[in-house]
Amino acid sequence: MVESVNVIGRGRVGSALAARLLERGIELRDHDVELVLLCVPDRAIAEAASAIEPGPWVAHVSGATPLAALDPHEQRFSVHPVQTFTLDCGPEQLDGAWAGVTAETDEARGLGRELAETLGLRPFDLDDGGRTLYHAGAAIASSYLVTLFRAASRLFEDAGAPPEALLPLMTRTIENGFQLTGPISRGDWAVVDAHLGALHDAHPELEPMYRVLAEATTA
């Protein structure tokens, strides 16, 4: 494992990674380092990489950006934590999460896996060509969960129910291994039709989403 790292970008991800590296005894500094770790937005990776003098290893933590964005560096890899981050929490957000490691050589792959393990992540190999589908899956699991909660909360509020009552329900669904329950699992299509009718009258903007999700659930 490298002993010195320059973490560029200290937002939600970068701040957590920097704090964990410090916990593990890795020296953080701006110059003469073994690894430059780019924790900048995807659109800024190529520009940031091009500004780095060749020499150290260069890596990014994006799930969607290919390694070519790190040109002209040949000593390169990426480690993408499969996790959502907030500035309200620290390096503990990394504990137990997985990480996709993309590399072009055995040496780079080994260094990427070591970095992931040092951060408290569980590494797996991620092919550069599979990034888009992989990242789409991560977005569905994380970002769209937020969308679902917001939509469900609006319906609860309109019905006079507390939206916070949804949290134990969503948590238990995860804890139960995503076992499907509810009207679709029972084949109770009259209830599904009733849902659609209620949405059509009260929240027509949510009806298409419900239909698409119902169809995907039965596929």
User: Using one digit for the tens of pLDDT, what is the confidence trace for 126-182?
Assistant: 999 999 999 999 999 999 999 999 999 999 999 999 999 999 999 999 999 999 999
**pLDDT at residue number 61:** 98
Mean pLDDT of the chain: 97
Q: At what angle do helices 189-202 and 207-218 cross, to 10 degrees?
A: 160
Tokens in use for 32?
């003469």
Rg (CA), the chain: 22
Q: Is the pLDDT of residue 219 over 90?
A: no
Strand order in the sheet with 57-60: 27-28, 4-8, 35-38, 57-60, 76-82, 98-103, 122-125
**pLDDT at residue number 131:** 96
Average pLDDT over residues 65-72: 98
Could you report the per-residue pLDDT of 33-50, keeping only the tens digit for each?
999 999 999 999 999 999
